Structure 1
Amino acid sequence: MVAGETSGDLLAGRLLSGLRPQLPDSLMHGIGGPRMAEHGFVNDWPMDKLAVRGLFEVLAHYREISGIRKQLRERLLVEKPEVFIGVDAPDFNLDLEIQLKQAGIPTMHYISPSIWAWRGGRIKKIAQAVSHMLVVFPFEEQIYRDAGIPVTYVGHPLAQVIPLQPDVAAARTELGLPLDATIVTILPGSRMSELKYNTEAFIAAAKLLLQHDPKIQIVVPMAGTKQRSYYIKLVVEAGLEEVPVLLIDGQSHAAIAAADAVLVASGTASLEVALFKKPMVIAYKMMEASWQILRHLGYQPWIGLPNIIARDFVVPEFLQHAASPQALADSLLKQLNDAGLRDSLKQRFTDMHHSLLLDTANVSAQAVLELMASRKA
């Protein structure tokens, strides 16, 4: 298995929670994170080697990433595993899957690249690479059936992990936060590149919020020690170190559950916020050269997962230059102050939660076992 970032580790961890009891003595190895390791997964390389986003950012790390893929491919062609599972990270995994599939190794990909958002031509490459696709959104299943690619909708694992009715008081108690405070949680991203481009605008927005209401409490969870150190460096360089925030290690779900509103970088974290039924503002910034290319490639007007699933601008999105501190702060204040909007969002996100709720661990594990059995048949 290969997972390339924190969200992939979560997805793979849920799959392994269903698969490991069925295969208690199997060697499961590759590239993964702590959630996968909980189920006896062995890391051959650290996952953060692959956690790079943006066209030019990837180019800067291309030689190292390419070298890891070559070494892994050579090992697997000799080992001939029962199955290879690429977890997200399509730019790394699809080329590897093509070569493994050609060598007779069954390949599964979990989850679908966002071909419904951009680069739809990748469906042809996916057909070459993938013996079976696992998808996490209901609308994706028909896309693969139409292309003749075996597919299983497994639900989204986050829909099982996150309770339908989050306990706000328990989350605030866990983090040592007052039960009656106004809490804004800020999630600038788990990748180093996301922190680089989002941190200054996100914390500057927090500064403006506090100028409007000094009683607001800001919570900023970090994905790891490297991210924490880099975040602190960026904040100091931006002259924002005096902005009072509660900086915490991990505990992102508690930080979201405790919040009255969330400022979140686009990605899986925005879906987590929706499943916690929280008002949010989605924003994203990247290297300017990457932005100038990517902004012309999208097929739809949304970039945030809650909006894509709803097919509507349920929550506001601010990209690149539009993601100014003032715009983010103003939009967060609207989320905090409009009770009718908060009630409407809670209902829409509850409906969304139900649509994504399956026994993901066991459904996905069963698909893996069936693919392995088909190889032996």
Structure 2
Amino acid sequence: MVAGETSGDMLANRLLSGLRPALPDAHMHGIGGPRMAEHGFINDWPMEKLSVRGLFEVLAHYREISGIRKQLREQLLLERPDVFIGVDAPDFNLDLEIQLKRAGIPTMHYISPSIWAWRGGRIKKIAEAVSHMLVVFPFEEEIYRKAGIPVTYVGHPLAQVIPMETDMAAARDELGLDKNARVVTILPGSRMSELKYNTEAFIQTAKILCQRDPQLQIVVPMAGDKQRSYYIKLVVDAKLDDVPVLLIDGRSHTAIAAADAVLVASGTASLEVALFKKPMVIAYKMMEASWQILRHMGYQPWIGLPNILAREFLVPEFLQSAARPDAMADALWQQLSDEALQQRLKQRFVDMHHSLLRDTANVSAQAVLQLISAK
């Protein structure tokens, strides 16, 4: 298995929770994170080596990443595993899967690349690369069936992990927050590149909100020690260390559960916020050169997963130069102030949660076992 980042580690953890009981003695290894290790998964390389985003950022690390893939490919061609599972990270995994599949090794890819959003031509490469695709959104199944690619809709694992209803008061107690204050949680991203480009604008937004409501409490969870140290450096360099922020290690779900509204970097975290039924503003910034290329490549007007699933701008999105602190603060302020809007969003997110709810661990594990038995 290969998972390239924190969200992939979480997704793979769910699959392994169903697969490990069925294969208690199997040797499971490759590239993954601590959640996968909970099920006896062994890391051959640190997952952080692959956690790079943006066209030019990837180019800067291309030689190292390419070298890891070559070594892994040679190892697997000798080992001939019963199955290879690429978890997201399509730029790394699909090329590897093509070579393994050609050598007769069954390949599975867990989570479809967003071919419905951009680079739809990748469906041909996917057909060459994967023996079976696991998809997490219901509308994806038809896309793969039309292309003749074996597919299973497994639901989104987050829909099982996150309860339909959460206890805001208990979450605030855990974090030491005032039960009566308004709380905004800020999620600038788990990748270092996301922190680099999002942190300053996100914390400037928090500063504006705190000026409007001095009792407002801001929570910022960090994915790890490296992220925390880098975040602190960025905030100090931007002279924003006077903004009253509760910086916590991990516990992002607790931070979301405690919030009245969330400012979140686009990605899987935005879906987590939706499943917690919280109002949110989605924003994203990246290297300008990468943005100038990527902004012309989309097929639809939305980038946030909640909006893509809703097929409308259910929550505001602010990208690149539009991600101005004043604009983001205004959007969050409206969500904090408008109870009718809060209730409308909550009901839409409840419906979304039900649509994504499946027994993901067992459905995905059964698909893996069937692929292995069909060898």
TM over 0.5: yes
Aligned to 1:185: 185
Query: 2: CA distance between counterparts of 1:109 and 1:74?
Result: 19
State the SS of the aligned residue for 2:22: coil
Kindly state the Cα deviation for residue 100 of structure 1 after the two structures are TM-superposed. Answer: 0.3
Aligned to 1:287: 287
Q: Does 1:108 align with 2:82?
A: no
Aligned to 1:204: 204
Query: 2: CA distance between counterparts of 1:82 and 1:233?
Result: 45
Structure 1: segments with no counterpart, 5+ residues: none
Deviations 1:273-315 (A, max 9, x none): 0000000000000000000000000000000000000101000
Letter in 2 for 1:210: C
Aligned to 2:131: 131
Aligned to 1:119: 119
Describe how 1:1-377 pairs up with structure 2 within 5 A: 1-375=1-375
Kindly state the Cα deviation for residue 178 of structure 1 after the two structures are TM-superposed. Answer: 1.7
Letter in 2 for 1:247: L
RMSD: 0.4
Kindly state the Cα deviation for residue 173 of structure 1 after the two structures are TM-superposed. Answer: 1.2
Kindly state the Cα deviation for residue 81 of structure 1 after the two structures are TM-superposed. Answer: 0.3
State the SS of the aligned residue for 1:246: strand
Kindly state the Cα deviation for residue 338 of structure 1 after the two structures are TM-superposed. Answer: 0.5
Deviations 1:217-243 (A, max 9, x none): 000000000100110111111110111
Query: 1: CA distance between counterparts of 2:47 and 2:172?
Result: 31
TM norm structure 1: 0.99
State the SS of the aligned residue for 1:133: strand
Deviations 1:27-71 (A, max 9, x none): 000000111000000011111110111000100010110011011
TM norm structure 2: 1.00
Kindly state the Cα deviation for residue 176 of structure 1 after the two structures are TM-superposed. Answer: 1.3
State the SS of the aligned residue for 1:298: coil
State the SS of the aligned residue for 1:264: strand
Deviations 1:160-187 (A, max 9, x none): 0000001111111111112111100000
Identical columns (%): 83
Letter in 2 for 1:359: D
Kindly state the Cα deviation for residue 80 of structure 1 after the two structures are TM-superposed. Answer: 0.3
Query: 1: CA distance between counterparts of 2:356 and 2:185?
Result: 24
Query: 2: CA distance between counterparts of 1:203 and 1:272?
Result: 21
Query: 2: CA distance between counterparts of 1:21 and 1:181?
Result: 45
Runs of 4+ in 1 over 6 A off after TM superposition: none
Query: 1: CA distance between counterparts of 2:241 and 2:179?
Result: 26
Letter in 1 for 2:198: N
Query: 2: CA distance between counterparts of 1:358 and 1:113?
Result: 20
State the SS of the aligned residue for 2:301: coil
Deviations 1:118-140 (A, max 9, x none): 00000000000000000000000
Structure 2: segments with no counterpart, 5+ residues: none
Query: 2: CA distance between counterparts of 1:321 and 1:348?
Result: 29
Letter in 1 for 2:124: K
